[in-house]
Structure 1
C-alpha cells in the first residue's frame, strides 16, 4: 500500500526529516505525492546544522539569510559560501549530506614572511570568494600553516583538507622541480609522514585538479572528526631547502570538507 495515500503530509515530512538531504531531493524528483511534503520547513531545518543560526549571525548578511525559508536557506548555503570572521573564513554545506565545510582564507593562515611585500603581496582576485589572496613573490623558506577547531566541524565525519591555489605560468617549472610537503595533524599528532607532491598539475594529475571555480586544489591529508569535541586540526605546506628560491604561488586558502 502507498503510504502517501493514508498518511497526512505532516507525517510524511516527519518521516523524510529522518532521512538525508540526498534522499529528500531524490524523493521529490521521483514521487509527485512526496514533493510537497519534502518542501516543509521542518524537513530542511532538521538537515541544517544545529548551530546554523549562530553561524549565520556571524556572517556579513545575517538578516537576508534568516528571512529565507528553510529549503531555500539550505540551498543558499550549499551554493553560495558565506564569509565569517571579517572575511577571512567561509562556510558552506555539502548538498547531499548537509555536512559543514569551511575554507580558511589566506588571511587566516600563518605565512612565513607574509607581511613583507618583497616576499608576499596581497591582492584581490575576481574569482576568489575572499577580499584578497596571497601571491608569493620570492622566498627561500616557504612555510604556510593553518588551524581549525574540531568543535565547529560536523561530528562523526571523515574530513580532508585541500590547499586551494594557482600558479603563475612563468614559474610552474620551479614547482615541477621542487615538490612541497603537505601535512595534517590532530592535536599535535601528525597523520602519516606527509605528502610530498609537485604543485604542477602536469606532474601530479592524480593529486592536483581543477576545481571548476578558476582555482586548483591538492589534498593535504585527511582526519576523522569522530566526536566533535574540543580539539585542533593543523595543516601545513613546507619547502624549506634554502638553496632554492621559491616564487609564483598564489594561495586562496585551505578548504576543509567531507572526504567522500
Structure 2
C-alpha cells in the first residue's frame, strides 16, 4: 500500500501511538514522514494532559512555536511554584520528572542559623540550597502528590546532595533512606562515606543482603543516592513520602549540602 495515499492525518494519528523516540526516527524516512511526525497532532499526544496547568505555574514564560518544540523545551526542565520545584519530561518516553528543592522539603531545624544555613551555588538550578553546619539529628523529608506523576510508571526517588571538604559525622552510624506510597514502602540503610563518594555497609531491607553502592556523579555537578522506588498506578494512592534520616549514635554532623529530592522514572 502506498502510504502517500492514506487520508490526511491518518499517518500522524498512527505515529502518535508510538513514542517520542520513534517519532523522531520516523521523520528521517522521507519528507512525508517528517511532515507528519512533526505535526502538533503527534506531539500533543506525547505531552502530559495537564501541560497547560504546569506551564501556568512556570516562573518564566515558556515560548514555543509548535508542540514538538514545547516537548523538547520541557525536556530541559523548568522551574515552577515560585522556583521551589523543577519539572521536566524524560526525553525518550515523555514521563514526568520532578525535583523538590531543599526549600520544598521538611528539614528539621533548617531555619535555625546555628544548625543550617541557606546558600547560593552556581551549579544549582534553585536560588538557594541548604548547608548543614552542625546537627546531631538529621531528618529530611519530602512529599509529592502521586497525581502529579505519570500513571502506570515505575519511579525512583533520589537525594541530590554533595559534601564539603570539612564534612564529618557520617562515617560511623548508618543513615536510613525510604520511599512510601500507600501501603508499599521501599528503602535501605547506608553508611555514608563522603570523602570517597561511596556508601558502605549497604543493607537492602527488601532482600536482607549486603552490597556496595556508589554516590553517583550527575552531569549537573551534584551527586545522587537512590532512596527507594515505587509504582505509580493510577495516581490515586495519595502522597509519595520520602525520607533521609541519620539519627543513631548522636554524632554531630557537618558539611552536607542538600539541593533536593528528584523523582524520575526507573531507567
Structure 1 counterpart of 2:219, from 204, 212, 228: 212
Written as runs of structure 1 = structure 2, the 5 A alignment for 1:10-89 is 10-62=9-61, 64-65=62-63, 67-79=64-76, 81-89=77-85
**TM-score normalised to structure 1 length:** 0.91
Kindly indicate whether the alpha-carbon contact (under 8 Å) linking 2:179 and 2:229 is maintained by their aligned counterparts in 1: yes
Kindly indicate whether the alpha-carbon contact (under 8 Å) linking 2:157 and 2:263 is maintained by their aligned counterparts in 1: yes
Q: Deviations over 1:201-238 (max 9, x none)?
A: 54337341011100010110000001111511101111
- Structure 1 vs Structure 2 CA RMSD: 1.9
Kindly indicate whether the alpha-carbon contact (under 8 Å) linking 1:183 and 1:190 is maintained by their aligned counterparts in 2: no
1:109 offset after TM fit, Å?
0.4
1:83 offset after TM fit, Å?
1.3
Kindly indicate whether the alpha-carbon contact (under 8 Å) linking 2:172 and 2:191 is maintained by their aligned counterparts in 1: no
Structure 1 counterpart of 2:96, from 97, 100, 117: 100
3-state SS in 2 of match to 1:139: coil
Structure 1 residue 186 and structure 2 residue 177: aligned? no
Structure 2 counterpart of 1:195, from 173, 189, 203: 189
3-state SS in 2 of match to 1:59: coil
Structure having the higher helix fraction is 1
Residue 233 of structure 1 is matched in structure 2 by 240
CA–CA separation in structure 2 for the residues paired with 1:191 and 1:225: 13
Q: Deviations over 1:51-76 (max 9, x none)?
A: 000110011123x43x4310000000
> Structure 1's 199 and 27: CA in aligned 2 closer, same or farther, altered over 3 A?
farther
**TM-score normalised to structure 2 length:** 0.88
CA–CA separation in structure 2 for the residues paired with 1:58 and 1:193: 32
1:144 offset after TM fit, Å?
0.4
Unpaired runs of 5+ residues, structure 1, are none
> Structure 1's 61 and 192: CA in aligned 2 closer, same or farther, altered over 3 A?
closer
Written as runs of structure 1 = structure 2, the 5 A alignment for 1:126-137 is 126-137=122-133
CA–CA separation in structure 2 for the residues paired with 1:127 and 1:178: 30
3-state SS in 1 of match to 2:198: coil
Q: Deviations over 1:159-204 (max 9, x none)?
A: 0000000110221x543434311011113x4514533242535433
CA–CA separation in structure 2 for the residues paired with 1:219 and 1:10: 43
Structure 2 counterpart of 1:164, from 129, 150, 160: 160
